[in-house]
Amino acid sequence: MAEQPEPNSFARVLAGNKTFANRTAHHEPDLLHKCAQGQTPEILWLGCADSRIPETTICDLKPGDLFVHRNIANVIISEDLNAASVIEYAVNFLKVKRIMVCGHTKCGGANAAMHDDDLGIVLNNWLHPVRELRRKYQEQLDDISCSEAKADRLAELNVYKSLETLEKNATVVKAMAERDLTLHGVIYDIREGRLRVLDEAMREGNEKSIDVLKR
């Protein structure tokens, strides 16, 4: 018997969705009904668009557990209306209790930001804040001999910088003062499949956040 050709990626997606729908209907019949009633996530997840880091999968969560925004290198800057709209909706309307910024090891964006190679107009502009961060902490990064470890450290610094940006966001500041919204920075280790929580001082305000960045 001739071997059946493997389905293309689009066909696999459709087949996988059918499997998910059938399995969920059988094992968790209330889940999709609950999702259809609305969403009440407690966490806003700000992460990287990398295909290896599907947040609900790596955290063993279900649809409806996280409100999500992802982009190249998990860059959070005040000028980005896309991210700002997600943050404002999550905080003011969904009333999330926590915001998590997740960077990761072996990040292509962080690795690209370690150099000034021309990536094209859009990516050059998008990674500019991360490249600026690299320049600011070049001396610290130069103390790291391994190029991969340098990029991983830049990914950490980028999470810290994103948290600092959030701590200056008016919507976030108001929610932190009125209802104890908390911020968390984490790094996902692709090799280990585990999240590592970054310095707890990042939760305590700008001054300590800046101290951490200076280390």
Is position 50 annotated in a ligand binding site? yes
Do 94 and 168 fall within a single domain?
yes
pLDDT given at position 50: 99
pLDDT given at position 74: 98
Domain carrying residue 117: 40-214
Do 27 and 47 fall within a single domain?
no
Average pLDDT over residues 45-65: 98
Tokens found for residue 56: 């609900």
Do 64 and 100 fall within a single domain?
yes
Do 88 and 2 fall within a single domain?
no
In sequence order, what are the residues at sequence separation of 6 or more whose Cβ sits closer than 8 angstroms to the Cβ of residue 119?
112, 127
Provide the number of structural domains found in the chain.
Answer: 2
Do 103 and 23 fall within a single domain?
no
Q: Does the structure show a pLDDT above 80 at 73?
A: yes
The per-residue DSSP string of 112-128 comes to: HHTS-----HHHHHHTH
Is position 107 annotated in a ligand binding site? yes
Is position 59 annotated in a ligand binding site? no
Q: Residue 100 belongs to a domain with what CATH number?
A: 3.40.1050.10
- Asked if 215 is an active-site residue, the reply is no
Q: How confident is the model at residue 199 (pLDDT cuts 50, 70, 90)?
A: confident
Do 56 and 133 fall within a single domain?
yes
Do 133 and 33 fall within a single domain?
no
Q: Does the structure show a pLDDT above 60 at 206?
A: no
Q: Is the dihedral of CA 150, 59, 162, 113 positive or negative?
A: positive
Is position 48 annotated in a ligand binding site? yes
- Distance between CA 196 and CA 133 in Å, rounded? 21
Do 33 and 53 fall within a single domain?
no
- Asked if 107 is an active-site residue, the reply is yes
Do 94 and 109 fall within a single domain?
yes
Do 13 and 104 fall within a single domain?
no
Partnered with residue 100 across adjacent β-strands are 45, 184
Do 72 and 11 fall within a single domain?
no
Average pLDDT over residues 70-84: 98
Average pLDDT over residues 14-35: 96
Min mean pLDDT across 99-103, 156-160, 206-210 is at: 206-210
pLDDT cut 70: percent of the chain above it: 89
Q: Give the residue with greater pLDDT, 209 vs 120.
A: 120
Do 164 and 99 fall within a single domain?
yes
- Asked if 48 is an active-site residue, the reply is yes
pLDDT given at position 101: 98
- The residue type of 81 is L
- Asked if 180 is an active-site residue, the reply is no
Integer angstrom CA distances of residue 110 from 4, 148, 150, 168: 40, 10, 9, 23
Q: Does the structure show a pLDDT above 90 at 205?
A: no
Which entry of 12, 33, 52, 135 is annotated as an active-site residue? 52
Q: Does the structure show a pLDDT above 50 at 203?
A: no
Place of tokens 């990287």: 48
Angle between helices 170-179 and 81-92 (to 10 degrees): 20
Q: Does the structure show a pLDDT above 50 at 212?
A: no
Instruction: Return the beta strands (E) in 12-118 as ranges.
Output: 43-48, 66-71, 98-104
Looking at residue 74, the DSSP 8-state letter turns out to be G
Which entry of 69, 102, 107, 134 is annotated as an active-site residue? 107
Which entry of 69, 102, 104, 153 is annotated as an active-site residue? 104
Q: Does the structure show a pLDDT above 90 at 37?
A: yes
Place of tokens 């059918």: 18
Q: Is the dihedral of CA 169, 171, 172, 178 positive or negative?
A: positive
